[in-house]
Each structure stands twice: as structure tokens, then as C-alpha cells.
Amino acid sequence: MPYFKHHLLTPDEQVLDTLADLVWTVTKEEQRSPLVILSTSGPAYSLRQALEKHRPPGLPSNLMFLPRVLGLAQWLKETPGLRAEGIQKTDLERWYEVYRALSDRPQLSSLLMDSSDASKWSLAKKIIEVCDLLSDATLGVFDEVLESALSDAIAEVYQGASKQIVEVEARIVLAFWENLSSAQDPIVRQRRAMGLRIAELKNANADVQHTNTHFPIIFIQTAQASPGFEKALEQVWQAHASVTAFHHCSLNYSNVALWPECLSEVDDSKPMIQKNRDHFFESGKHLSQSDRRILKAQDFEDAAWQGAGAIEKLLQDGHQHIALIAQDRLVARRMRALLARFGDGLSVHDETGWKLSTTRAAASVMSWMDVVHHPAGPSSVELIDFLKNPYIDWSTFGITHDQASDCLTFLEQRLIEGDVRGTWSGFILALDSDNDETNTLVSIIRKLKNQSNRWQAASNSCLAWLDLLEQDLIDLGMSSSLSQDIAGQQLLASLSPMRLLRHHPMKQVEWLSLLSSMLEDASYIESNPRQSASVTILPLSATRLRRFDAWVMVGCDDTQLPSLSDSPMFLSAQLKKLLGCKTQEAEFIQQAMDLSQLMRSHQHWRMIWQSVGTTGEPRQPSPWLQRLYVRHPELLKDKLEVPTTSYEAMPISQPKPSLPEDFVKPTSISPSAYRALRECPYRYYVTRLLGLKERSGLEAEVDLSLVGKTLHAALYDFYHGLKTQALENDNIYERTKLLKKRLYAISHKHFKPLLEVDGRWLAAWIEWETLIPSWIDWHIQREQSGWVFHDGEKQVSFDLQTRFGDIRVSGFVDRLDIHPQEGVEVIDYKFSSKNSITKKKNNLQDDPQLVIYAKAVNEHDMVNRQPTTTASWISVKEDDSRVEVDDLQSEMKELPAQMIADIESLWGGSPMAASAPDSICQYCQARGICRKGMWS
């Protein structure tokens, strides 16, 4: 028997039970299981639980099963005959359509926004949102000649609206709207589904035999949709009521509303509101005081701690399933981190929607895009970021995971040492030596480079770019690891709509931008099993008709409750109203209703508001709470005491470790290690004996050591070349000219690879290039005064006898010159100014590097058995900057005794105190360990 029945349900704590009873009553009356349709599918699970609980005994077998419960959107999608209307455009196809229109008309996108690829994708998205909003608000049901009805409807609204508006942006959007409202677009299709259902019901009405095939329907409306949608839906329900039993359930707030706006359709709502408020406070008195509390938090962190503390207390009180309502999402996220301390026994389920782009899987794929997008190669940071991602299967490179880890540490170190900032040739240059590790790394880099070459096509179809990415993921072994990971599976699935864009050409940069926007847009759905204790994070709107043992709401201050949804771009509030879209006022009313329902239907809850905002601005409790508690303002300032933890202060003192007797002593010491020992014994202990080193980042400042090495190599080649290919030209002018030319050519050969990799070396090259003439002038003077280059880059050493055994002192001398009468000069090149070299000279006792070299050369008669007579530093950074060691002979004589005393004291167990002047401490790597500043 067809009929239309309206039910008004009070959304209190019994509402689900009432609904379940109603469903079973209809089942028994109609002797058929009804179809239960929810306006939003959120309460489906709670309703099924209530139906299970209230199943009447003694039902016949055909009615035993729970009736089908589904959301309205799903029901409309299942409309018979809808498939025959053609295929609905995917979101991506619509997105691409608008994007292409914007790209083809750059003046259009620049009129609306800046015209980078990323902002064009986002603009296209916003235009689609606005157009769908317009369609939803204005389009009716299309049950007959679809295309003409549709174009008539659009023309009508367009004409009406375009007369009223002056903003150029809104006019452009209206023009897009016409193109985004075809039968293949979702809102039009939804209205078409309604039309098909109405048409089918009309046919059934005419054919009595068909009438019985329709199930009774129970529609549960939990919130108001847009006026346009409501109107269209009403037509569908009326048609249903003409062939079958139809029950329309809506919520009646007159017994739960706590604010007058919830009853906007009632003429005089005051008495009802007063009665509800009295009841609210009255029922609170019967319960223990702590069941409903409004907590005042000082700031963000306090809000999160109080929120987590409130959940902990509720769990201890025996509540198992708790809702965390995230008016303030950031506080909710922070609380989630705090709740992790409770371990696996408490499961947390976030329904507020994580972005897929925040997952490790998405970050890994995007880091691969960073590696391939530039033909010259990625930056060092990008390369290392990618190689450290856990999805790579290193067996595809022929190495184990542990070997890969060692290789990466080595590569990072080489990139830092060489100050290589990026590019494929830069990486290969940094690995310029022949050993197993560098060979493995070079083959990895070459493989990545080959893969990157495939990405350098001018244009490809969207599908072809996707195929390329998928092939890369297979080649890198990432594909199988991603498919074993929940986020990875969702990521691969989220990319599949790209397969439909097989004939849509895109530049690489456009496609990368689309990929990034798609990942930014896609939601990550967690899948963790619900434990016996759980916390569900959800927005206020998702609490309708849902029941929890208790709830906690964060963000209950005047800036976040009620919350403002993002208003669509381009449409002013006035235009929205004119077009029949849902207004902000309607959104506020809905939130007031949701909050009333939530506060009245649960006995145990905490609401937390923050009295100081992030920028220090004062905040108040939500105006709704202030109005509700106007006679009880003290209840708005409750506080949950979070137990404090006290710590005992432990003073830190100057470190002075001693070496244990069984410490394995080093058998050699370099000049720089000895300098470290002299400057600060503790620093020597940390950096040289324990081998601890600060890990520099790839973003560190320019390291000039590579320039120094390059200059050493160039000068060595130049001087050796003069020995093997002497310049046979005695004309001083000609000779000078030829020498300059030769040094320039050799230097350029050494600098060239650096300059190709990174333009920052240009400054160093220009600096040296301008110094070449004065260097050659100095060289000519040396030649004329009889000095001859003998050798360079030579290892030299001598032994010291200590009471603990011999120790070898060794290092590399930069250059040895010889003079027939004056003997041998030991030279050290310095890439620093004359001033700093002079400081070195004055600090010879603590930094006797040159004296060590001179002594080593002297002891071994290395240079034609001639004695070392001079030692000097020469700056390769400034003209004419040679600084000589004073009284070298006595320095060489005194050096061994000083070194032996220092080393014996150390090996003998003397304390290695952290002691150095601030000028040294400020560059010390060990400062974080010695903690100077905390004890000095």
C-alpha cells in the first residue's frame, strides 16, 4: 500500500534505538525488509548496531536479515539505466579540461591568479568546485530531453546572475560553468539519476504489476542540503510514495536545542530553549560533577596535554570508545602524538583525512621526481634524500641493504668534502678514485642518470609519463615495496585515473605539477584494527547520530567554534545567496544543531578552549558556550591538572678524562693531530683518539678545501713539467710570457671539471687567474736568485723515542726547493691571507707543522744531502706573500723534546682537560661533547 509518512525524531541519546524500532516496525507491517537510506553514510555503522540490538524475536526467515542501510549518494549511483547515459567524466578528466583551457589562454589564468603550472592546477580545481556548487544549487531534475532541459536551466541562471554581477572573475567562472555542466559531469548526472528514478516510478505506477517490486523506503535526513538539492530530492520521494511505503525521518531539535538558531523556523523559540537549558543543567546536577567539563587551556601545548590527560582519565573511568572532535586539527594531531605513549592497547582512528602527500610513500615517489626532473641532474641534497628512502630494493643494484647503507654514508661524506652541490657530472667527479665503494657508487649514479635521460622528452601523453614512472619504480625495486605498504597501495591506486588521459599531451613540468597536486588532493585512509580501547578523531559534522562512550572536543574558543568552512573563490556571499547555494548562516545553524545534539545525547564529555592564540592574541570561549553558561561563568574555566615531573639538576663540570693504561696507543701522529693536542687535549682525545667527528650537512657553507687541492695539483704539474719539459728560452720577457701561458693552461685544465659542475667555483678561479702573473714574476725572481724546484707533495717523517715506545711523526710536504749555496727550503702553500699566515708563525710552538717537515727532510738527507736551511709559507691567495720561520735551526732542535714531553704526559695518564681559548673553541667540532659554556 503506497503512502508517505513523516517522522520527527528527537536527536537525543535514544534516537538510534527509536530509529531501529521504527525500521523493525515497518518491516513487520510491510512484511518486507525496507531499504534504509541515510542522507550521509556516517551513522550507518551505529544504526546497524542498533538494528542488531533491537531485532524483534520470532521474525519469519525472510525478514531475519538486517535491512540494507546505505548512503543517498550510493543509492543514486545504483540507479537502473544510469550506465546507459554514457560514462561519467573522471575528476581528473574534468580537471585536465579546465587546466588546458587556462593554459591555452594565459591571459585568463593571469587574470584570476599567477600562472605557474602548480597554481593553474589549483585554480582549475577551484573553478570546478565553484561550478559544482552552482550546479547543485540551481539544477533541477532532468527526466526528459536532457540536453535541452539542461541548457535551458543553465541559460536561465546565467542570464539572471550575469545581470547582477560585475566582477570579471565571477563572469569567467560562469563561462566555465556552462562547459562543466554536461551530462557527463557529476552533479548533472546525479540529477539525471533522480530523473530516471522518477520516470521508472511513473511507469511502475501505470503498471500495477510492477508496483509490488519496490521495497519500502525509510529515508533518514540528518542535515539540510542545498535548497536546489532538497527540491530535486523531494520530487523523487513523492514519486516513491506513489508506488510504495515511504517514511521520511527528520530530526526535531525542539527538545534538545540549546540555542535559538537551532529552531530558526519556530516563531517563539525562547521558552523551548529555556526549558532545554534548564534540563541540561538539571541533569548535570544528578551526575557526578566531573562528567561534563569545560576546560580552559593556556596555550596550544597546554590544550594538547589537557586533552590527552582528559582522554586518559576517561579511559581509566572505564570508557572504551572515545571521540576526539577536532575543531582545532593541530591540537588534535599533537594529542595523537601524546596518545601514542599509551601503546598498542589504544587504537587511534583519524576520520579527518590525512593527505596522501604527507605519507612516506608519497615523499619517496616525489623525491624520485626531484632526481629526474632536471637534465643536468639533481642537487646533492635531492639525490641523498632519494637514496635514503626505504622503498628502494638494493638488490636491483647488486648490493645488500647494509652495503648500501655504507655506500650512502661514504657518498654523503664525499659530497660534503668535495662541496659538490649537484649534477650527475659533479657526483662522478666527487667519486674520482678507484676502489670497490666508489665503483659501486659510480655504477648506481650512472644507472640513475640513464633513467633520468628518459624523462627529458619535450612532451608526452599523461599515460606515457605514468608508464615511465611505473617502469622506474619497477627498475628501482620500489614497486613491490610500495605495494606491500598501505600508503603505497593507496598511492599507486590514486595514480590510476591518469591511465584514462592517454591522448593528452603534457610537458614534463606540467605532468610533475599534476602528480604533486593529485597526491596533495588524495586522502590517506588509515587501516589499523580497532582495539578494545579506541579514540576516533572526527569533525563535528561527522558526529551526527553516532554514539561514543565519551567525547573530547578541542578548539572550543571563539575563533574556531563555530568554524568557517573555506568559502569558494569567486562567489561573494551575496551571489551565493542569489544563486541558491547554502549560506554561511545555514552552516552556522547546522553546527549549532550538531553541537546541541552532541552535548545533550552524551553524558561524559570535555570541551577544551585555548585562552591565548598562536600569535599571543587573547581568546574567549566559544560564543555558544558563553551564552549557554551565562549564569555559570565559573564552569567555563575548569582546569585539568596534568601531573608534573620534577628533575634533579646535575651540575656539569669541565671534562678531564685520562687514558687507561691498556689504551692502545697510536703509532703515529700527524702535524695537524699534534696541533689539536697542543691546542686542547680534550679535543685531541675526542676527535683523534675516539675518532668522533661532526657530521657536516650537505647544506654547509662553501668548503674551500677542494680549491686548495686543485691549486696544489696544478702547481705540482706545472713545476714537474718544468723539470721534464724545460723552457729553452733565455729571453726574460719571452720566458715570463710562456710560463704564464703554461701555468694558465695547466690551472685551467684542473679547474675545468669544477667549473662545469658548479658555478660557485668561478670566483676562486678568477681569483687565482689574476694571481698567475705575479706568481710567475715571483718564480722568475727565484730562478734568477738560484732557487730550483726539487720535488713536491712528498711524504716525510721521523721517529720519536718515548718511554712508551717509538712514535712516528709524518705528513706531506707541499714543496722542496734547492739552492746550490743556501741549501734546502721547505715550502707550505696556504690558501689564506698574509695576516693569518703571520699569526701561524707567531704560534709556532702549538702549530709546528713546518718545523716538523723541515726536521724530517733534514734527518733523511732527502734533497741531495743538503741541509734544510729555510722553511716558509707562501700564500696562493695574495701577491708577494711569503712568510719565513725565524731561527729554524733552534726550532728544529727544541721540537723533539717538546713533543716527547707532551706525548709521554698523555700516554702516562695525565688528565686531558678541555681547555682552549674561545677563538679556538668557536670552531671546535667537539664543543657539543665538552659542553663549554655550561661549565665555564
Residues that bind ligand SF4 in the complex, under the rule CB under 6 A: 680, 682-683, 914-916, 920-921, 924, 926-927, 930, 932
Nine cell digits for residue 149: 532541459
Q: How far apart are CA 813 and CA 810, in angstroms?
A: 10
CB of 855 to ligand SF4, least distance (A): 27
> 178 or 694: whose CB is closer to ligand SF4?
694
CA distance 534 to 925: 47
With 0-12 CB in 10 A as exposed, 13-18 as middle and 19+ as buried, what is 354?
middle
Min separation Cβ 930 and ligand SF4, Å: 3
The distance of closest approach from Cβ of residue 684 to ligand SF4 in the complex, given in angstroms and rounded to an integer, is 9
448 or 914: whose CB is closer to ligand SF4? 914
Task: Select 682 or 761, whichever has its Cβ closest to ligand SF4.
Answer: 682
Q: Which three cell numbers stand for residue 37?
A: 537510506
**Distance of closest approach, residue 657 Cβ to ligand SF4, in angstroms:** 11
Question: Which cell goes with 374?
Answer: 632536471
Does residue 562 have a cis peptide bond before it, meaning omega lies within 30 degrees of 0?
yes
Contact 556, 607 (CB under 8 A): yes
- Shortest distance, CB of residue 843 to ligand SF4, whole angstroms? 15
Nearest to 549 by CA among 564, 532, 566, 527: 532
Strand intervals (E) in 518-598: 523-524, 533-538, 550-554
Cα–Cα distance, 509 to 516 (Å, whole number): 11
Q: What's the grid cell of residue 294? A: 569545560
Residues near 875 by beta carbon (within 8 Å), at least 6 away in sequence? 829, 830, 831, 832, 833, 834, 837, 881, 882
**Nearest to ligand SF4 of 564, 652 (CB atom):** 652
Helix, strand, or coil (residue 607): strand
The H-assigned helical ranges of 13-89 are 15-30, 44-53, 72-77
Closest approach of ligand SF4 to the CB of residue 679, in Å: 6
**Of 191, 91, 95, nearest in space to 137 by CA:** 191
CA-CA-CA-CA dihedral for 726, 730, 734, 736, to nearest 10: 60
Q: Which is nearer to ligand SF4, 201 or 680 (CB)?
A: 680
Rounded-to-integer distance, Cα 79 and Cα 197, Å = 7
CB of 840 to ligand SF4, least distance (A): 18
SS3 435: coil
In angstroms, what is the minimal distance from the CB of 899 to ligand SF4?
A: 20
What are the DSSP E strand ranges found in 111-162? none
The beta strands (E) that lie in 635-755 are given as: 668-669
- CB-count burial class (<10 Å; 0-12, 13-18, 19+) for 934: exposed
Cβ nearer to ligand SF4, comparing 899 with 921? 921
Give the residue with the Cβ less far from ligand SF4, 356 or 924: 924
Considering beta carbons, is residue 474 or 690 the nearer one to ligand SF4?
A: 690
Is 386 in contact with 371 (CB distance < 8 Å)? yes
The nearest distance, CB 419 to ligand SF4, in angstroms, is: 24
Name the residue nearer to ligand SF4 (CB basis): 844 or 921.
Answer: 921
Q: Which residues of 306-413 form beta strands (DSSP E)?
A: 321-326, 346-350, 354-355
Smallest separation (angstroms) from ligand SF4 to the CB of 303: 40
Rounded-to-integer distance, Cα 932 and Cα 922, Å: 10
Cβ 925 to ligand SF4 shortest distance, Å = 8
Q: How far is the CB of 914 from ligand SF4 (least distance, A)?
A: 4
Q: Is 732 exposed, middle or buried (0-12, 13-18, 19+ CB in 10 A)?
A: exposed
Q: Which residue, 247 or 683, is less far from ligand SF4 as judged by CB?
A: 683
- Distances in Å between the Cα of 32 and the Cα atoms of 23, 25, 67, 539, 931 are 11, 11, 9, 36, 79
Say if CB 817 and CB 787 are below 8 A apart: yes
C-alpha span between 753 and 755 (Å, rounded): 6
Nearest distance from residue 650's CB to ligand SF4, in Å?
19
Nearer to ligand SF4, 740 or 927 (CB): 927
Minimum CB distance to ligand SF4 smaller for 555 or for 655? 655
| Residue 113 CB partners (closer than 8 Å, separation 6+) | 119, 120, 123
For the bound state, the minimum distance from the C-beta of residue 913 to ligand SF4, rounded and expressed in Å, comes to 8
| Least distance from ligand SF4 to the Cβ atom of residue 413, Å | 22
Whose Cβ is closer to ligand SF4: residue 850's or residue 914's?
914
Q: Please state the closest distance from residue 680 (CB atom) to ligand SF4, in A.
A: 3
- Complex with ligand SF4: residue 47 or 921, whichever CB lies closer: 921
With H, G, I as helix, E, B as strand and everything else as coil, classify residue 292: strand
How far apart, in whole angstroms, are the C-alpha atoms of residue 540 and residue 561?
10
Q: Which is nearer to ligand SF4, 627 or 927 (CB)?
A: 927
Which of residues 637 and 695 has its CB atom nearest to ligand SF4 in the complex?
695
8-state DSSP, 861 = T
How far, in Å, CA of 461 to CA of 446, rounded? 27
By C-beta, is 296 or 683 nearer to ligand SF4? 683
Handedness of CA 658, 662, 663, 667 (dihedral sign): positive
Residue 923 Cβ vs ligand SF4, minimum distance, rounded to whole Å = 9
Nearer to ligand SF4, 862 or 914 (CB): 914
Shortest CB 681 distance to ligand SF4, Å? 8
Q: Where are the beta strands (DSSP E) in 748-891?
A: 788-802, 805-819, 823-830, 868-875, 882-884
Q: Nearest Cα to 17, choosing from 51, 67, 56, 57?
A: 51
